[in-house]
Amino acid sequence: MKRTAVLVFFLASLAVAAAQPAPLITNIANRTTISLNGRWRTIVDPYDIGQEARFFLNAKPHDPGDLVEYDFDTSPLLNVPGDWNSQRDDLLFYEGTVWYKKSFSYHKRERTRVFVYFGAAALRATVYLNGTKLGSHEGGYTPFNFEITDSVREGANFLVVEVNNRRRAEAIPSLSTDWWNYGGLTRDVLLVEEPPVFVQDYFIQLAKGSTTEIVGWIRTNGGSPSQQVTIEIPEAGIRHTVTTDPSGYAQFRFAAHLTLWSPRNPKLYRILVSGGGDRIQDDIGFRHIETRGTKIVLNGQPIFLRGISMHEEAPYRGGRAFSADDDATLLGWAKELGCNFIRLAHYPHNEGMVRLADRMGLLVWSEVPVYWGNAWTNPSTLQNAQDQLRENITRDHNRASVILWSIGNETPVLPARTEFLSKLAAEARELDPTRLITAASDRVERSAPLTRTVNDPLAEFLDVIGVNEYLGWYEGRPEDVAQAQWKTMYAKPVIISEFGAGAPYGNHGSALARWTEEYQANVYEQQIRMLRRIPFLAGMSPWLLMDFRSPRRLLPGIQDYHNRKGLISDRGQRKQAFYVLQRFYRELAQ
Ligand code: GCU
């Protein structure tokens, strides 16, 4: 009996192990990859019959008597990357399962390992290769990969991905968000080829508290223990070799005198990391971020964050942004606005956006979608939040632009929530001791009609406190805003991470009339007058750069399922408030 139980446990643990993605391969842009992007066959499966019918086998009738009630090869096509909602009118509101299928030919080579990599799949995915399940991933905004070295065939292969964007109370995010629930293979799908031993991940940053010392670690994947791995920064005349421990992990620390990265001078160094026969390059900036009292301090100098919040909404066409053009348009607008800072709300954006911020000199607030109410006491919810946080930090921990890891947005002040988020804060510090931890809170004490006191128990676990306030829109009148008094309970920097007002582009009238561009511009004028007087304010990221789709914004002719708080319309048209903020940022920049 005992033997059987052991065997059952062993097989079960194998199944679980097979179901988990492989450790994340980072710096995918500089790896040897084969793109699987393009047109994929898709089956919309609202009643989830695909599991029972085993769509993942991609079966075909062998003789006229066979009954097969699906056929990928005569089913509709969808573009990958891309959400399905904005590709087909009949899928705009669809929440459910879509099965994707891609046939591809592969030539196997000696001493080459193969992985399949997904930039994201919203909101969860199960992946099958040639009819065999590789595993699943939960979370719509972070990458994952599976090793297929032993399962990919010479010649013809087919990949089937079951993608589901149905909202669930215990998921992250939960049931209610003020953004469109775009589903699909929303980012790149790639085959990745690696040597038997390769550099899987590395962390190379300035040591906390130093601008002349680099610390970090390297993790190799595969091969015998105790590999020699080398970090080179040729331009700085640095070459440093360390030996990995039996698990393939090696830490290092060495002196370095480098030009520091900053918004004014976004200096990136070509880095070369080699080990076990693998050699990978990256472009990394070195800067130092810390807080001093209520100041945010970059490279030893206090800096005020002139920011803007953004969703990952594609300009002009709508849907999930994913391309280099999308990223360049959005960040170009942020630069035109006079920003040195962007808040990538409310989930990790595509990696290209963060790498572009590195190159353009834009500081980044990066956020996981722990948004509004969540299943705070559900262990699997916490585990998934930690997984998404770890995947976000693992992917972007070498990006100089990222200075803030945000662990949530407008979560309710409940003991279970504060406990949940304190664990996320601890996880973020454990994964990355060099960056600042933040969250956006809308819980401020209204100690008098126009007095607001920052006082959220979550602040205890944060380095920087984000405050979302909508004086002049959701509360009070624009003309009262400028008189508002702000206090704080904490000797920590505060960022006003949201304020704003809605107006469709081209809707003009009195500044007292809701929804006019004049009303929106007046709210910005009044807010700026108020913000000037907050001594502990370290930055701001008004809500937000561009109009975006939302299932909560239903006012015909004004919203039409769009949140209109953008300074720019979803067609790229600049509203009056854009110029109000731009004037203020230009004044601050001098
Ligand atoms: C909230 C929330 C945003 C939302 C915004 C709004 O603060 O953080 O996600 O879109 O307010 O109401 O427009």
pLDDT in tens, 300-333: 999 999 999 999 999 999 999 999 999 999 999 9
283 in the same domain as 364 = no
398 in the same domain as 335 = yes
In a domain, 466, yes or no: yes
Strand, coil or helix: 197: coil
251 in the same domain as 156 = no
In a domain, 202, yes or no: no
Structure tokens at 53: 């019918």
Domain stop point among 287, 321, 349 = 287
Q: Which residues contact 235 (CB under 8 A, 6 or more apart)?
A: 269, 270
492 in the same domain as 371 = yes
454 in the same domain as 543 = yes
CA of 559 from ligand 1 middle (Å) equals 14
Residue 449: pLDDT band (50, 70, 90) is confident
* Smallest CA separation from ligand 1 atom 9, residue: 178
521 in the same domain as 466 = yes
Domain stop point among 238, 256, 287 = 287
454-501 residue pLDDT tens: 999 999 999 999 999 999 999 999 999 999 999 999 999 999 999 999
Sheet containing strand 295-298, edge to edge, reads 289-292, 295-298, 301-302
Task: Identify which of 178, 523, 558 to mutate to test ligand 1's pocket (most ligand atoms within 8 A of the CB).
Answer: 178
The b/e string for 12-35 (b: 16+ C-beta within 10 A; e otherwise) is eeeeeeeeebbebbbbbeebebee
**Residue 570 φ then ψ, to 5°:** -70, 0
Ligand 1 neighbourhood includes 194 CB (under 6 angstroms): no
Q: What is the DSSP letter of 74?
A: G
CATH number at residue 263: 2.60.40.10
In a domain, 483, yes or no: yes
| Interval 46-72 mean pLDDT | 97
CATH number at residue 555: 3.20.20.80
In a domain, 203, yes or no: no
In a domain, 472, yes or no: yes
Q: d(Cα 492, Cα 454) in Å, to the nearest integer?
A: 11
- Distance between the two ends of the chain, CA-based, in angstroms? 78
Domain encompassing residue 62 = 3-194
| Interval 504-528 mean pLDDT | 98
Sheet containing strand 213-221, edge to edge, reads 198-206, 213-221, 249-255
522-577 residue pLDDT tens: 999 999 999 999 999 999 999 999 999 999 999 999 999 999 999 999 999 999 99
Give the model's pLDDT for residue 275.
Answer: 87
CA of 178 from ligand 1 middle (Å) equals 6
188 in the same domain as 252 = no
Q: How far is CA 100 from the centre of its chain?
A: 23
Strand, coil or helix: 19: helix
In a domain, 479, yes or no: yes
Task: Identify which of 344, 543, 555 to mutate to test ligand 1's pocket (most ligand atoms within 8 A of the CB).
Answer: 543
Please tell me the total count of domains within the chain: 3
220 in the same domain as 162 = no
Structure tokens at 118: 């997904």
362 in the same domain as 394 = yes
Give the model's pLDDT for residue 12.
Answer: 53
In a domain, 537, yes or no: yes
Domain stop point among 287, 302, 323 = 287
Q: Which residues contact 201 (CB under 8 A, 6 or more apart)?
A: 23, 24, 25, 26, 218, 219, 394
Q: What is the DSSP letter of 27?
A: -
Q: Say yes or no to pLDDT of 17 above 60.
A: no
Ligand 1 neighbourhood includes 541 CB (under 6 angstroms): no
More confident residue, 446 or 127: 127
277 in the same domain as 230 = yes
Q: Say yes or no to pLDDT of 1 above 90.
A: no
275 in the same domain as 165 = no
| Interval 191-212 mean pLDDT | 94
306 in the same domain as 258 = no
In a domain, 579, yes or no: yes
CA of 367 from ligand 1 middle (Å) equals 14
CATH number at residue 107: 2.60.120.260
What string of DSSP letters covers 126-185? EEEETTEEEEEEE-SSS-EEEE-TTTPPSEEEEEEEEEE----TTSSS-S--SS----B-
Q: d(Cα 132, Cα 205) in Å, to the nearest integer?
A: 40
